[in-house]
Amino acid sequence: TPTPAASTTAPEAQPTTEATTEATKKPITIALVYGIQGDAFYITMEKGAREKAEELGVTLIADGPSKWDPSVQTPIVDAMIAKKVDGLINVPNDPQAMIAPLQRAFDAGIPVVTTDQYIGDGNYTDGTVTFPLSVIASDNFEGGKIACEALIKSIGGKGKIYILTSTANVPSDIARRDGCIAAIDANEGVSLAGVDYTESSAPTATTQTQAMLQKEPDLAAIFGANLFSAQGAAAAVKSAGLAGVIKIASFDAPEQAIVDLRNNVIDMVIAQQPALIGATAVQYIYDALTGNTADIQKKVNTPFVIITRDNVDTPEAQAAIYKS
């Protein structure tokens, strides 16, 4: 940013100085490198980021890997550094492997915010990695706990619960798993039927759920801890003719989850607020670039909207459904 005209500047010199300042002011470009292509959660995050960028008069460029893999995501981050973007928002595909690429961005003078996921141990104040400005994400442990407490209530406090989550190196989904297990542990009448890792593939989740239905014919409930895990579980329960018999909680709120909710296949949808996450990240980068750091918090937890058949038609629930 060019230095503003000094207060001693002669009045007649001002118009020229201001004109020069305007002409040389470099437009701000912020990059969003999201988690994976084709996921309504990230599509909605990008939309929120784009709307905020327009409001602030900055440019947003977005890209992300075709599969959840740090070796695919790293060159995308490096390409943003090579483009000399002014700020970088990243959903790191791995908490360890993405430290080095994000450090390269930081070392190039690019402020970094992580959304949905974190790097290191996620404590940017005094943890293992402190250079990112902030991590903006849901409180995933709490979300998993809320989901499974509701499931336990819906099965009358008795029965077996099965958890499907994405991968073991995705901190958000592991926290949801652990929040659910904490709810199960706190309730004597329920037990954990098992945990499977779906690699965020709905067909994989369907196959795994079918196997679980064979193994545990009296299964009471399923927690799908991310969009594709829940979608695959719902498809398996539907095709087994068990809709309404086995209770399902879906973490994430794509249109399909709402259709399944209305059709009694899914009983509860835990909507994150990806648009708010994206918008907050853009605001933080902008604040950092314009010297307004006072409002930047190292960690932001965005709230959930819990959608059930009782409130699905309220404006709040409708606004929380992801875009695709």
What does the binding site for ligand T6T look like in residue numbers (CB under 6 A)? Answer: 35, 39, 41, 116-117, 166, 170, 172-173, 200, 226-228, 251-252, 272
Nearer to ligand T6T, 286 or 304 (CB): 304
For residue 197, the cross-strand partners are 165
As a whole number of angstroms, the distance between CA 316 and CA 45 comes to 17
DSSP H helical ranges for 59-201:
70-82, 99-107, 140-154, 171-185
Distance, CA of 266 to CA of 261 (rounded, Å): 4
For ligand T6T, the closer of residues 68 and 284 by Cβ is 68
Closest separation in Å from C-beta 109 to ligand T6T: 28
Amino acid at 246: I
Cβ–Cβ contacts within 10 Å for residue 315, how many? 7
Indicate the residue among 64 and 87 with the shorter CB distance to ligand T6T. 64
Distance CA 184, CA 110 (A): 43
Contact 180, 152 (CB under 8 A): no
Distance in Å, CB of 194 to ligand T6T, minimum:
20
Q: Which is nearer to ligand T6T, 28 or 170 (CB)?
A: 170
Least CB distance from residue 36 to ligand T6T, whole Å? 7
Residues 6+ apart with CB under 8 A from 145: 179, 180, 182, 183
Q: What is the CA radius of gyration of the chain?
A: 22
Q: How far is the CB of 252 from ligand T6T (least distance, A)?
A: 5
CB of 312 to ligand T6T, least distance (A): 20
Closer residue to ligand T6T in complex, CB, 28/275: 275
d(CA 129, CA 105): 14
Take residue 16 and report the two structure tokens written for it.
């020229």
> Around Cβ 67, how many Cβ atoms within 10 Å?
13
Q: Which residue is nearest to ligand T6T (CB)?
A: 227
Separation of alpha carbons 238 and 278, rounded Å:
34
Buried b (16+ CB within 10 A) or exposed e, 190-226: bebbebbbbebbbebbbebbbebbeeeeebbbbbbbb
Q: Which residues contact 123 (CB under 8 A, 6 or more apart)?
A: 299
Of the pair 31, 170, the CB lying nearest ligand T6T is at 170
Closer residue to ligand T6T (CB): 71 or 290: 71
Q: Which is nearer to ligand T6T, 39 or 267 (CB)?
A: 39
Nearest-approach distance from CB 217 to ligand T6T, in angstroms: 29
Residue holding tokens 């209770």?
Answer: 247
Nearer to ligand T6T, 231 or 283 (CB): 231
In whole angstroms, the minimum distance from the beta carbon of 170 to ligand T6T comes to: 6
Give φ, ψ of 293 to 5 degrees: -90, -5
- Whole-number minimum distance, CB 306 to ligand T6T, in Å? 15
CB of 322 to ligand T6T, least distance (A): 9
